[in-house]
Structure 1
Amino acid sequence: MPSAGLSTRRAVQLTALLALAVFYTAQLAGALLPNVPVFVTASLAGLALDLYLTHQQPGLLALLGKVRFDVTTRQLLRDMLIVIGLVRIPDVPPDIERPLTLLLLISYAAHFLCQAVAQLVRRARTLPVVTRNIDASALGLSAAPPRLLARQPSRRLLRFSVPGTVGLVLSAGTSVQEWGLIGVSCTFLLSFGSAIYLGTWLLPKKRPASEREALAWLDAWLAEYRPTVGMYFSGGTTSAYQANMWLSTLAELDGKPLIVLRERFMVQKIDATDVPIICIPKVAHLMHLEHSTLKVLLHPANSGKTSQVLRIPTIKHTFTNHGESDKLSSCNPYAKAYDQVWVAGEAARERYQLAEVGVDDRDVVEVGRPQLTPIQPYAGAPEGAFTTVLYAPTWEGWDGNPGNTSVVLAGENIVRELLADPGVRLLYKPHPMTGSVDPRAGEADQRIRAMIVEANGARGGERRGPETAAELERRTAELDRITTTAFRASADELERMKVQGTPEPGRAARVQVATEAWEEAFWASFPEWEHQIVTGPRPAIFTCFNQADLLISDVSSVVSDYLTSEKPYAVANTSGLEEEEFRRTFPTVRAGTVLTPDAEQVPGLLESVRHPEKDTLAQARKELKIHLLGPSDPPSLARFNAAALELAAEAEARNVRVARRTAEIPGQREADDAAEEAEMEASAPTDPEDAVTT
């Protein structure tokens, strides 16, 4: 169980922390008494423990760093206690102490020199733009220096200190000066030699383009590529899925697509795509897009940095969102900042009007949901021996409202009812953020998982042969090979840009084929009776839709997407509303079964799934599908593309009008540009990470 693993990890960390305190105390006692065996043993044991913590307990090291007891402080304390031992141990000649102490100080100076050079190298190798799927060789991209030297100062200090510490301890224990001189000299040479080696990355041959040169390259690339429509995205480490769901749609639009990011780490979070990716962290540099041919930017999410790109008047901005949810909270007032809001169907248009957040109905455009193409349509009653039920609850939301998720109040009851039916195969796919706000949701999630594991153990049955597992392993290796770019352990941002330059033609298509093959192998590797707990990015939610005969979820975009299949579904009502009011408040519920927290409706729901003649909501699902997702003709992608072209034409017309007016006022444009540039510089954060996203 995860809780047991957490308890074990904490016990190990506590033991290590206590051992660290014991070793320092014993080292001090051995130096002051003095007691040579205790002193030597404690010194070496403390060094060994620090090496272990560096590689095996990064969490504890992070905690120690917060209280300013990091590796540098611990090593300084350890060496200081060794110097005290050299002074206090009677058998150590006094003339040994001074040269060894002086040499130790010089070795620390070499370490800090190496750190200073490493900082210069990192700054030189931090360009104002980061790219992927773009040939940026003109920026002077080169292989990165060793990670230990350039980006791991703590590990470097600790590893390079080993010969010095061992040598000093041997000198203290044997009263032989040479051991300390040899050991500390090795430490000095390692640090000083590393500084010299790192300095070669500051020479012209390895030094990349300057900021001015990189921005000039950006302008030249934009002028050559001539992008027309792009996707703008900014977010945290777990939010990349919001952008990834739009990659296939963006790639199929007419024109030259582009992905614009703001966080450097996000470049590697974007899934396999042939679309050029460019990350521009600073707002002042972002304004270079104003002079490009880019006409439309799609926004799948709001963030604190969205307002920065909205200041570019030559580009039209549309909010596409990353899901169609019934909750009024999903109609964010920020949406009125965009030129248009693109929604799936009429229901979302009505939702914005009910929310009264200032979005003009004329700015709402119905484009469907082009990502839903992979979802297979309803094919009738389950054909096999088992009815597959997908339980996909959402998370508790930032406000922790009990009506947001069914996990806390109804989850265990729903799962219990499903597991009690011998003809049910359960797929449990909780939201990845479950428990992040309300611990009760996380605890309920763990209990549900335990129930499923126990049910599988009690059910038993014949398992698939080893050939299916071998096929899954082969498909996994193939998919990983295609989707994961192999980088050296020391690769930094510039080296990854070099490796991920011009993409291989058709790579995205090959990834799609490999993904479908992996999904087929994944489901084939399990017996049809086995319940599954589905977590992580694979298999994707749409694949689970295709496996399921029935969906049970909460008020969320999962229900809207599932409706495209027209299969039966149910929504858990933990809001406290009466059923009629619940249906009236949330349109997605109108064609589904409403489950109360005790889940007593589950047996009857399963009966209607197995016997379609008892399904009284089939026609309602057809009608609601059109209401939520729009008509199937013309296809969603065609409507989406037409909306993009129309918005681009509006941007072009606006730019022509403004250019004509500006031309009539001599010098006005130059003055405006200068004022805007000064404003950008004044408001730009000094560090790319200073701006906080929401």
Structure 2
Amino acid sequence: MPSAGLAPRRVVQLSALLAMFALYAAQLVSASLPYVPVFVAASAAGIALDTYLQYKQPGLLSLLAKVRFDVTVRQLLRDMLILVGLLRIDGIEPMGEQAPLLFALLAVYVLHFGCQAAAVLVRRTRTLPILTRNIDASALRLSAAPPRILARRSSHRMLAFSIPATAGLLLTAATTHAFWGGIGIGLSIVLFGGGMLYLATWLLPKKRALNEAKVMAWLDNWLAEYEPTVAMYFSGGTTSAYQANMWLSTLADADGKPLIVLRERFMVNKIDATDVPIICFPKVASMFSLENSTLKMMLHPANAAKTSQVLRIPTVKHAFINHGESDKLSSCNPYAKAYDEVWVAGPAARDRYQLADVGVEDKDVVEVGRPQLSPIKVASGPAGGDFTTVLYAPTWEGWDGNPGNTSVILAGENIVRHLLADDRVRLIYKPHPMTGSQVPAAGAANERIMAMIREANTRRSGPRPGPEAAAELARRAEALDKLTSTSFRTSADEMEKMLLQGRPDGGRAAAVAEATAAWEEAYWASFPEWEHRIVTEARPAIFGCFNQADVLVSDVSSVVSDWLASEKPYAVANTSGLTEAEFRTGFPTVGAATILAPDADGVPGLLAAVRGESDDVYAEARLELKEHLLGPSDPPSIDRFNAAVRALCARADERRVRMAARGDAEIPAQREDSVEEQVAQAQAAEAAPESEDAVNA
């Protein structure tokens, strides 16, 4: 499936590439003859094609740039061929009319490079050593960004500003009057020169941000004023932000002054709506400002290559909270022993670490429950109504590609086929967003499953909600989008976004939660109860799907552990090759589940139990497993979480007291030397190539 999807794009790219070289060849041949109509047409078509590709096929042009055939070279070649044509056309004096045009065209390129140099200088001055969100950083002299075509899109600028010169030269070729070439080149000179001068105004003190030393001094002052105590540290790729987002509400409710610490610049705007201050430290050296702050502890929802860098800070205690718990090996990663404590939901995870024997001592494991599961509604009895809603939420294939990781490849189509065969089933299919990223067969099976569901919907009919339901959904979506998104200009850069996001509205997170709940209610009400749904967008979230479903079908993953909070029936697909007894023994989270073989023949029996048509033999086991996995309901999870926060902060305080008591006489000059050494070591590690996924859980 992926190769078939890529084929049309490759055909288009190859056709465009052949057309580009054909136009250059036509320019050369028609300029040599000369044959003015073809010469003018080929030259005009060449720059038009190049401009089109800039917007529609940037990937192709990136490949050309890698072989040094970038936009400047292409435009220079195009202009050179036009000058060759002018030399050959009768009626144009090479030394009388063309020489001034040649020198003027050279001036265009000089100004182009001058404009590019100014753009580089402006970008450097606007690249701060840190990025912030929900923090008033106006003292850093933040300003709006220059137009994108001037500051960041050199290829677009080169083509757009060269069009007058090229058009003027082609008119000269058609009419033999150098006047037109002079006018066109003059306009290009004005555009490039004016753009360079306009960019230079961002280098003046009024628009120029503070230098790195002053920025870091400002940060130290802000940290001293805010006095953070607990932070969430996160580093990851573009698709991993959900791992941090699931902890935002819990962090906001944590005892103390919360803070979010990020490492990748792009991640600043990947974090969902929150009132918690956010600081991004792209370079490890700047991150050591935290050592001299009041910060006492950090929470880590994921392992990453850059995690080792923050563990160097001795004044801060670290707790691994994970982004989900399951029976997979990733839920007891040996990297966890690097943290001061490992916070887990319940006794099951504690047992998992001890059985895995990966170096995590039992005294360092703290049970805190799963505070973010509070939105999940608890079951109220067997499924009623005309339709039984089944949520099929398989996980992805994992980094190792083990066929037992996901049911999509071996069992997914069979599961869906059995579910669709029951006229009383409404299916919600929510695949993992990374499905198919490692194993193409998983992506292909996922596409076939979605095709099956769409085809099944065509065979169903019934009453639909009226137009007012769609209008209500649109209204709720608009209200939610206003709260969750910031309207940035297309030219906005990091500094401008810092300026716009610098003053958080109090209670914004609560307003977003309320608007999200209203949107989800409108979303489900906008579809008929008999219609199957495919959910691949971020909204509705998985917990919203939980509350709609009567039963879950999934794989061994954190989805199963979270689902148990609902106390509803669930099934787990066994594609591991193990017997059912071995599967239950090896994966405790499936102990209260209906086990589905790859042929999924157990689906009808599962549905009968959900509807109360047969005994729900796992009802009592689910309650026991819920407490074993998630811990007791009393005290509430958030209370246990905050108790753990206070305890670890107290350990950090105790260490600081001990270190202060020992004094400089016992460990002379250690603090000053250690910080310098840490920064030097961290910078060396940062310069070395590292794989983000090397230790990622």
Q: TM-score range by the shorter chain?
A: over 0.9
Alignment of 1:641-660 (within 5 A): 641-660=642-661
Q: Could you tell me whether the CA contact under 8 Å between 1:284 and 1:680 is conserved in 2?
A: no
Match of 1:192 in 2: 193
Match of 2:260 in 1: 259
Matched, 1:84 2:66: no
Match of 1:60 in 2: 60
Q: Could you tell me whether the CA contact under 8 Å between 2:285 and 2:683 is conserved in 1?
A: no
* Pairwise CA distance, 1:6: 4.6
Matched, 1:552 2:519: no
Give SS of 1:335's match.
helix
* Pairwise CA distance, 1:683: 2.1
Give SS of 1:77's match.
helix
Q: TM-score, normalised by structure 1?
A: 0.97
Distance 2:17 2:468 in 1: 47
Distance 2:133 2:675 in 1: 31
Distance 2:116 2:52 in 1: 23
Give SS of 1:258's match.
strand
Q: Could you tell me whether the CA contact under 8 Å between 1:662 and 1:668 is conserved in 2?
A: no
Distance 1:87 1:48 in 2: 24
Distance 1:276 1:339 in 2: 24
Segment of structure 1 superposing worse, 128-137 or 11-20 = 11-20
Match of 1:486 in 2: 487
Match of 2:29 in 1: 29
Distance 1:206 1:692 in 2: 37
Match of 1:19 in 2: 19
Match of 1:51 in 2: 51
Matched, 1:400 2:423: no
Shift in alpha-carbon separation, 1:16–1:127, aligned structure 2, 3 A: same
Distance 1:628 1:366 in 2: 10
Q: Could you tell me whether the CA contact under 8 Å between 2:298 and 2:317 is conserved in 1?
A: yes
Q: Could you tell me whether the CA contact under 8 Å between 1:380 and 1:612 is conserved in 2?
A: no
Shift in alpha-carbon separation, 1:497–1:678, aligned structure 2, 3 A: closer
Q: Could you tell me whether the CA contact under 8 Å between 2:575 and 2:597 is conserved in 1?
A: yes
User: Could you tell me which amino acid in structure 2 is paired with residue 693 of structure 1?
Assistant: E
Distance 1:31 1:460 in 2: 66
User: Could you tell me which amino acid in structure 2 is paired with residue 40 of structure 1?
Assistant: V
1:652-685, Cα deviation, whole Å (9 max, x unpaired): 1011101221333485245424642662575264
Match of 2:103 in 1: 102
Distance 1:423 1:395 in 2: 28
1:333-387, Cα deviation, whole Å (9 max, x unpaired): 1111000110111111111122221111111111110010000001112222000
Matched, 1:225 2:223: no
Distance 2:446 2:49 in 1: 37
User: Could you tell me which amino acid in structure 1 is paired with residue 558 of structure 2?
Assistant: S
Q: Could you tell me whether the CA contact under 8 Å between 1:328 and 1:351 is conserved in 2?
A: no
Shift in alpha-carbon separation, 1:691–1:596, aligned structure 2, 3 A: closer
Q: How many residues align?
A: 692
User: Could you tell me which amino acid in structure 1 is paired with residue 328 of structure 2?
Assistant: K
Identity of aligned residues (%): 67
Matched, 1:354 2:332: no
Q: Could you tell me whether the CA contact under 8 Å between 1:86 and 1:97 is conserved in 2?
A: yes
Match of 2:341 in 1: 340
* Pairwise CA distance, 1:535: 0.6
Distance 1:23 1:520 in 2: 57
Match of 1:306 in 2: 307
1:90-115, Cα deviation, whole Å (9 max, x unpaired): 34321222221211111111011111
Q: Could you tell me whether the CA contact under 8 Å between 2:82 and 2:170 is conserved in 1?
A: yes
Match of 1:202 in 2: 203
Alignment of 1:276-287 (within 5 A): 276-287=277-288
Q: Could you tell me whether the CA contact under 8 Å between 2:309 and 2:682 is conserved in 1?
A: no
Q: Could you tell me whether the CA contact under 8 Å between 2:284 and 2:679 is conserved in 1?
A: no
* Pairwise CA distance, 1:519: 0.3
Distance 2:641 2:491 in 1: 42
Shift in alpha-carbon separation, 1:338–1:32, aligned structure 2, 3 A: same
Q: TM-score, normalised by structure 2?
A: 0.97
Distance 1:635 1:305 in 2: 33
Q: Could you tell me whether the CA contact under 8 Å between 1:240 and 1:269 is conserved in 2?
A: yes
Match of 1:41 in 2: 41
Shift in alpha-carbon separation, 1:685–1:359, aligned structure 2, 3 A: closer
Q: Could you tell me whether the CA contact under 8 Å between 1:282 and 1:684 is conserved in 2?
A: no
* Pairwise CA distance, 1:543: 0.3
User: Could you tell me which amino acid in structure 2 is paired with residue 195 of structure 1?
Assistant: M
Q: Could you tell me whether the CA contact under 8 Å between 2:397 and 2:442 is conserved in 1?
A: yes
Distance 2:269 2:221 in 1: 24
Match of 2:75 in 1: 75
Distance 1:276 1:212 in 2: 21
Q: Could you tell me whether the CA contact under 8 Å between 2:284 and 2:683 is conserved in 1?
A: no
User: Could you tell me which amino acid in structure 2 is paired with residue 647 of structure 1?
Assistant: L
Distance 2:120 2:279 in 1: 25
Shift in alpha-carbon separation, 1:681–1:451, aligned structure 2, 3 A: closer
Give SS of 1:298's match.
strand
* Pairwise CA distance, 1:332: 1.3
Q: Could you tell me whether the CA contact under 8 Å between 2:114 and 2:196 is conserved in 1?
A: yes
* Pairwise CA distance, 1:47: 0.9
Distance 1:621 1:315 in 2: 39
Give SS of 2:459's match.
helix
Q: Structure 2 unaligned runs (5+)?
A: none
Q: Could you tell me whether the CA contact under 8 Å between 2:384 and 2:611 is conserved in 1?
A: no
Match of 2:93 in 1: 93
Give SS of 1:434's match.
coil
Match of 1:327 in 2: 328
Distance 1:75 1:549 in 2: 62
* Pairwise CA distance, 1:188: 1.4
Distance 2:672 2:620 in 1: 62
* Pairwise CA distance, 1:71: 1.8
User: Could you tell me which amino acid in structure 2 is paired with residue 104 of structure 1?
Assistant: L
Matched, 1:446 2:470: no
Shift in alpha-carbon separation, 1:620–1:612, aligned structure 2, 3 A: farther
* Pairwise CA distance, 1:88: 2.4
Match of 1:113 in 2: 114
Q: Could you tell me whether the CA contact under 8 Å between 2:168 and 2:185 is conserved in 1?
A: yes
User: Could you tell me which amino acid in structure 1 is paired with residue 224 of structure 2?
Assistant: A
Q: Could you tell me whether the CA contact under 8 Å between 2:2 and 2:444 is conserved in 1?
A: no
Matched, 1:525 2:546: no
Distance 1:337 1:501 in 2: 34
Match of 2:579 in 1: 578
Alignment of 1:405-484 (within 5 A): 405-484=406-485
Distance 1:666 1:496 in 2: 45
1:110-164, Cα deviation, whole Å (9 max, x unpaired): 0111111111111111111110000111111111111110011110001001001
Distance 1:355 1:677 in 2: 32
Matched, 1:509 2:510: yes
Distance 2:366 2:313 in 1: 22
Distance 2:257 2:137 in 1: 18
Distance 1:686 1:97 in 2: 51
Distance 2:516 2:396 in 1: 27
Distance 1:321 1:415 in 2: 31
Segment of structure 1 superposing worse, 360-369 or 86-95 = 86-95
* Pairwise CA distance, 1:626: 0.5
Match of 1:125 in 2: 126
Structural RMSD (CA): 1.7
Q: Could you tell me whether the CA contact under 8 Å between 1:79 and 1:165 is conserved in 2?
A: yes
Q: Structure 1 unaligned runs (5+)?
A: none
* Pairwise CA distance, 1:77: 1.6
Distance 1:14 1:607 in 2: 56
Q: Could you tell me whether the CA contact under 8 Å between 1:396 and 1:441 is conserved in 2?
A: yes
User: Could you tell me which amino acid in structure 2 is paired with residue 306 of structure 1?
Assistant: T
Segment of structure 1 superposing worse, 5-14 or 628-637 = 5-14
Distance 1:672 1:52 in 2: 57
1:603-645, Cα deviation, whole Å (9 max, x unpaired): 1111111116511000000000011111111111100100010
* Pairwise CA distance, 1:21: 2.1
User: Could you tell me which amino acid in structure 2 is paired with residue 547 of structure 1?
Assistant: Q
